[in-house]
Structure 1
Amino acid sequence: MKFPAKCDRRSLMVAGLAAGMATRGAASAQTPPPVALKGLPPGLPQPVETIDLWPRGAPGAPAAPLVETVEERSTDALVTDRAVWGITRPRMAVFRPDRVNGAAVLITPGGGYRWVVVDKEGYEMGRWLAARGFTAFVLFYRLPGEGWASGPDAPLADAQRAMRLIRHRARDFAIDPERVSAMGFSAGGHVCASLSTRFADTVYAPVDAADGLSARPHSAAPLYPVISMSLPDAHTGSREKMLGTNPTPAMEAAHSPDRTVPGDAPPHFLLHAEDDDAVPVSNTLLLRTALKARQARVETHLFEHGGHGFGLRKAIDKPVEAWPDLWRAWARTTGLA
Structure 2
Amino acid sequence: MIPISGVKLFTYLTILWFTFYGEVTLYAQEVLPVWPNGVPNSIQNKEYKEIVTSGDAKEVSGISKVSTPTLTAYLVDGNESSGVAVVICPGGGYSHLAINKEGYKVAKWFNSIGVSAFVLKYRLPNDLIMKDKSIGPLQDAQEAIRLVRRNAVKWKLDPNKIGIMGFSAGGHLASTLSTHYNEKVYDSQPLSARPDFSILIYPVISMEDGITHNGSRKNLLGENVSADLLDTYSNEKQIDARTPPTFLVHALDDKAVPVENSINYLLKLKGNNVPAELHIYENGGHGFGLGREGTNQYWPESLKHWLINNNMAK
Please report the TM-score for the alignment, with normalisation by the length of structure 2.
0.88
Partner of 2:120: 139
Partner of 2:14: none
Alignment counterpart, residue 229 of structure 2, candidates 237, 251, 265:
251
Within a 5 Å distance, the mapping from 1:53-92 to structure 2 comes to 53-65=34-46, 66-72=48-54, 74=55, 76-77=56-57, 80=59, 82-92=61-71
Within a 5 Å distance, the mapping from 1:181-260 to structure 2 comes to 181-206=163-188, 211-260=189-238
Partner of 1:115: 96
Counterpart of 1:55 in 2: which secondary structure? coil
Amino acid at match of 1:173: W
Aligned length: 291
Within a 5 Å distance, the mapping from 1:1-337 to structure 2 comes to 29-30=7-8, 48-65=29-46, 66-72=48-54, 74=55, 76-77=56-57, 80=59, 82-98=61-77, 99-147=80-128, 148-206=130-188, 211-312=189-290, 315-337=291-313
Q: Is the 8 A contact 2:83 2:156 kept in 1?
A: yes
Task: Give the 3 Å change call, closer, same or farther, for CA 31–125 of structure 1 in structure 2.
Answer: farther
In the TM superposition, residue 291 of structure 1 has moved relative to its aligned partner by 1.2
Task: Give the 3 Å change call, closer, same or farther, for CA 31–245 of structure 1 in structure 2.
Answer: farther
Counterpart of 1:111 in 2: which secondary structure? coil
Task: Give the 3 Å change call, closer, same or farther, for CA 252–82 of structure 1 in structure 2.
Answer: same
Counterpart of 2:165 in 1: which secondary structure? strand
Task: Give the 3 Å change call, closer, same or farther, for CA 205–150 of structure 1 in structure 2.
Answer: farther
Please report the TM-score for the alignment, with normalisation by the length of structure 1.
0.82
In the TM superposition, residue 55 of structure 1 has moved relative to its aligned partner by 2.1
In 2, the alpha carbon distance for the partners of 1:333 and 1:236 equals 36
Partner of 1:21: none
Q: Deviations over 1:289-312 (max 9, x none)?
A: 221121111111100011101012
Task: Give the 3 Å change call, closer, same or farther, for CA 82–110 of structure 1 in structure 2.
Answer: same
Q: Pick which of 111-120 and 49-58 moved more.
A: 49-58
In 2, the alpha carbon distance for the partners of 1:48 and 1:302 equals 33
Q: Deviations over 1:108-137 (max 9, x none)?
A: 000100011110000000111112211100
In 2, the alpha carbon distance for the partners of 1:142 and 1:245 equals 19
In 1, the alpha carbon distance for the partners of 2:240 and 2:252 equals 27
In 1, the alpha carbon distance for the partners of 2:74 and 2:153 equals 15
Q: Is the 8 A contact 1:228 1:234 kept in 2?
A: yes
In 1, the alpha carbon distance for the partners of 2:28 and 2:10 equals 9
Counterpart of 1:309 in 2: which secondary structure? coil
In the TM superposition, residue 47 of structure 1 has moved relative to its aligned partner by 7.0
Percent of counterpart pairs with the same letter?
Answer: 37
5+ long unaligned stretches in structure 1: 1-27, 34-42
Partner of 2:19: none
In the TM superposition, residue 92 of structure 1 has moved relative to its aligned partner by 0.3
In the TM superposition, residue 149 of structure 1 has moved relative to its aligned partner by 1.7
Q: Is the 8 A contact 1:272 1:302 kept in 2?
A: yes
In the TM superposition, residue 286 of structure 1 has moved relative to its aligned partner by 1.5
Cα RMSD of the aligned pairs, angstroms, is 2.1
Q: Deviations over 1:252-274 (max 9, x none)?
A: 11111111112211101111001
Q: Is the 8 A contact 1:107 1:136 kept in 2?
A: yes
Counterpart of 2:134 in 1: which secondary structure? helix
Partner of 2:15: none
